[in-house]
Amino acid sequence: MEEKVLLAVAVVVLLVVVSKLKSLLVTKPKLNLPPGPWTLPLIGSIHHLVTSPSIYRAMRDLAQKHGPLMMLRLGEVPTLVVSSPEAAQAITKTHDITFADRHLNATIGVLTFNGTDLVFGTHGERWRQLRKITLLELLIVARVQSFQRIREEEVARFMQSLAASAGAGATVNLSKMISRFINDTFTSVLTVADLFPSSRLMQILGTAPRNALKCRNRITRILEQIIHEQVEAMDRGEKTAHEGLIGVLLRLQKEASLPVELTNDTIVALMFDLFGAGSDTSSTTLNWCMTELMRYPATMAKAQAEVREAFKGKTRITEDDLAGAELIYLKLVIKEALRMHCPLPLLLPRQCRETPGHGLRHP
């Protein structure tokens, strides 16, 4: 046991020494960085965050001490924390293009084919074309409405499963069923490899990137099989009543009318974005809605009464029925759940391109 402890201490000391030597040997330009708390070797500013029960409260306390623009180092990753309206406007509006990119950590890099998708892609002509395809071809109203029948069938199947479990008196794991129904596949994980992106050792020790690669490979095989089958159908001249999302992308690929190349990897990466954005946010919102309703039975009873009054006598509710009903109270319940438990950050972390901003120069 003592040998293991000594070995662990020796490894930590060795890493600290290597880190210090590396910082001494590599000359970096002097930057006018924002103030921030004192740092430790290797972990940087992480110790200031883990000592508080909530990370956002720790950041609030640090910002009150160091100002609205504060520099933290999460491992070796320099992170700018913005906590004032003026500074936020400077970054998201005045210098929007400068901060337009997203930071690729080890796990996200694997899942997005090293940032070749839309969400984490580098801002430029290729990104603009992918955004144009998504808005004008994949997410147009007519395309979304064409999948109405599929959505209604899945909801009906989900409700039948719930009713069968309730009729048998079985315990229902609603969160698990909702996640399965929505096809919740992707999660974001903070790993050791994310905090030390330049360290090959940390990349080897980190398990999340390897797990993400396995997950990506499994889903990629499924999507590539679908792509292969649809390409063969297109070559045979077969047409379907409703063109699917992959079918739209393959048609654009075959037409070759875009200024950028639409490869199969890009198609798979875009499908990852759509599945991830549409599944995780929906399941998270539904889970929290049901959690809060179960916490407050009176609120649930009032929402149930409104729904039953609006759809009395109906055993199956369609999207057209929902469009014609007001359901004011139910909508307020959903909005309150979104306010209390936002499924995603209102502003995703951004990556700077080393350009002056707000009187300072950021790495």
The upper half-sphere exposure of residue 312, i.e. CA atoms within 13 Å in the direction of its Cβ, equals 4
The arithmetic mean of pLDDT across residues 168-176, rounded, is 65
Q: Which amino acid is at 23?
A: S
> In angstroms, rounded to a whole number, what is the distance separating the alpha carbons of residues 241 and 230?
14
Q: Is the pLDDT of residue 67 over 80?
A: yes
- The secondary structure element, H or E, covering residue 81 is strand 77-82
pLDDT for 62 equals 92
The CA-atom distances, in angstroms, between 266 and each of 115, 225, 258 are: 10, 15, 13
Nearest-5° Cα angle at 198, 192 to 204: 50
> In angstroms, rounded to a whole number, what is the distance separating the alpha carbons of residues 193 and 191?
5
The CA-atom distances, in angstroms, between 286 and each of 4, 193, 202, 289, 311 are: 46, 32, 36, 5, 21
Name the token pair of 322.
Answer: 């929902």
CB atoms within 10 A of CB 237: 6
HEC string for 8-77: HHHHHHHHHHHHHHHHHHCCCCCCCCCCCCCCECCCECHHHHHCCCCHHHHHHHHHHHHCCEEEEEECCE
Residue 206, helix vs strand vs coil: coil
Q: Is the pLDDT of residue 95 over 60?
A: yes
Q: Is the pLDDT of residue 270 over 80?
A: yes
pLDDT for 31 equals 65
Q: Taking a C-beta distance cutoff of 8 angstroms, is the pair 76, 197 a contact?
A: yes
Q: Is the pLDDT of residue 23 over 70?
A: no
Q: Is the pLDDT of residue 126 over 80?
A: yes
Q: Is the pLDDT of residue 73 over 60?
A: yes
- The pLDDT > 70 percentage for the chain reads 73
The arithmetic mean of pLDDT across residues 240-252, rounded, is 77
Q: How confident is the model at residue 109 (pLDDT cuts 50, 70, 90)?
A: confident
> In angstroms, rounded to a whole number, what is the distance separating the alpha carbons of residues 4 and 12?
12
| Residue of 186, 237, 238, 239 lying closest to 211 (CA atoms) | 186
The burial class, CB within 10 Å (0-12 / 13-18 / 19+), for 307 is middle
The arithmetic mean of pLDDT across residues 83-101, rounded, is 83
- Residues 288-327: pLDDT tens digits? 898 999 999 999 999 999 999 998 878 788 888 888 888 9
CB atoms within 10 A of CB 242: 10
- Residues 29-55: pLDDT tens digits? 566 788 889 988 878 888 888 887 788
Global model pTM greater than 0.75: no
Q: How confident is the model at residue 335 (pLDDT cuts 50, 70, 90)?
A: very high
> In angstroms, rounded to a whole number, what is the distance separating the alpha carbons of residues 111 and 216?
6
Q: Is the pLDDT of residue 193 over 60?
A: no
Query: Which of 2-6, 49-53, 179-183, 298-302 has the weakest average pLDDT?
Result: 179-183
Q: How confident is the model at residue 207 (pLDDT cuts 50, 70, 90)?
A: low
Q: Is the pLDDT of residue 359 over 60?
A: no
The CA-atom distances, in angstroms, between 271 and each of 103, 119, 134, 297, 363 are: 20, 11, 10, 39, 32
